[in-house]
Structure 1
């Protein structure tokens, strides 16, 4: 049924900040594919189409509203091979109806959420049905958590190829980066902190600990945390490191991938993420700054003042920051081999993709969607999966082809 759809791709939430970047990218780089813009406001959709695609553009517009007219989602889902969803903040209430419609009609789906409870609920409700309908549902297809998920896969596979053993541990070390603060991420994180107990899926995630996204029947593993607790010297990377702020969103995805792929990385493989810093003092000052910010956000009066000046959902950095922004993620896999501990090092770099939270995220998510739309036979059959377990080397190759850099260092260290 998917091969006979009118459209290859629908960009849902096309009027939002990241959604518009996705539209711009598709219009410029993939003019040959059949795509449409979707959202709840027809006037705004028409304005985005005119501004990005031109006043004479015939790109279809689809009015759909997950919260108020969910029946429109069925009409949208049956018309396309893939839906790329940018309508979040949070995704939990707005995206689950879209996932349901896609699963029902065998339509593939991607989004850019880092909301772990939402991903838990999505898997619990729809994984089996998605396997039956052939719908491939892949969350976290932006900066959270494509670099982490693909980087871990690359070094784990290289460990087997080079040294014939599983991994004892994998670590992502965040390097230098530049980009704008995401208003959507900020508000979503704030909601989880303030209303966490009432969020569906939160209790289940807490009960499962570090393996909050693992599939049913998974064996878990040795991890009890996602990052370091303080500034320290890391003996594997030989760098000073501090806690990585997005580890809580990324690490559960990587662990789920390992479980979904029959523990290809290793049954006892640990995973964590850290941020590299030049020295202990810099790390301490940075960590102190994060702590102060957290305290100010926890106090209602200062939180109110901060939210007046911080980016709001739908707002993003300037065009200059988008284009000059970048990120570097390094990966260190330690082999589980008697007598020695081989180390394999890999990397995921933004290359020409731009800042991590917006421009690069739009590209990574669209390339994830096009992996399914244009190379469906090379992707997983169906289910609520992760970027690496669903798309694997297909996505790695597509990202390398558009100017990002993903790979493994030639010589093990």
Structure 2
């Protein structure tokens, strides 16, 4: 049976909702921290490491994120929204906006799946035994870290570190951490790219039955020194577009003047919402008060694309999003920088921005954060893949102009063939099964 979707925009009364629906099944939740999550009254915090929790979680209303500040000492935080749970097949995600280990020889933060609500870092501590998987950022020094995938320490034979980045990484996030269930295995991803699949490391001995009981998920942070971090977009992502976005605005960037693309993009949207606004030579790549994807709702959003030097229109490839595009330089010329400006995003709201390449690897930058779309076969309507066909910028705050650039990186050109601007819903999504 498909889940019934209840969208709670303010204080969620989990127990009352479950009683109201007459079900004892679990509730998957998602917080984007655009409104006060009420940490002290609606979340559970416990001593994840050394049975001691000294970390102070606090909501950053300006940035719409959750700040975690750990003092010095051997202690660790486990944090989850009270009443949360997932089904064995649901994905869990968390975006790490910042992470720094200011002191101490070791420290980490991550996204954990577990068989009980409050598992400890070490299996034989009073908090109790539990099987866990954790996708985490492990500090190396004050500026660098490595991604790791671990299971519970001391809960069996073999190395508890199942995967570790081959080299130190200087933090340049945000990083979107995701754990997905594919068949009998979990796949751990960073920014949409898989880094580890369960069952492939020697110490990874959890059975399918154990994996099926990992229904709890937590934010964890631990170490021996000072750690400062911030997170966003935590929980079970919405099952449908209505859970994720208030509305989506689509932009078809054309090299010529064909009819607009009329199918779906990478941003999930309601069936039938396939209206795309045109940016082409006819309007000088400037358009105001764009129409939402439903084809009728007017918005305040304006988009302009100055500083692009070449266009391409492959009319023979059909009316697909990537059959035409604009380039950052004259064909055969030197390196260039394409620019784009988005105006009219409303203050107090949060947006996800999808930028599409076509045939050429392109580095897109917004607010000093760079995301890469490696390439896409022009003229083909693909099964959209983040990082391949498009770059995704999450949690862009409204109220000011968004200025971005496109550079060619390792490719000959940088390209822009389309754009989606998705307004995120505020609050918490609760899936009652």
- If the TM-score is normalised by the length of the shorter chain, which range does it land in? under 0.3
- Flag the structure with higher helix content: 1
Give the structure-1-normalised TM-score.
Answer: 0.26
Give the structure-2-normalised TM-score.
Answer: 0.25
Instruction: Say which one has the larger Rg.
Output: 2
Greater relative contact order, per chain length (Cα 8 Å cut-off, separation 6+) = 1
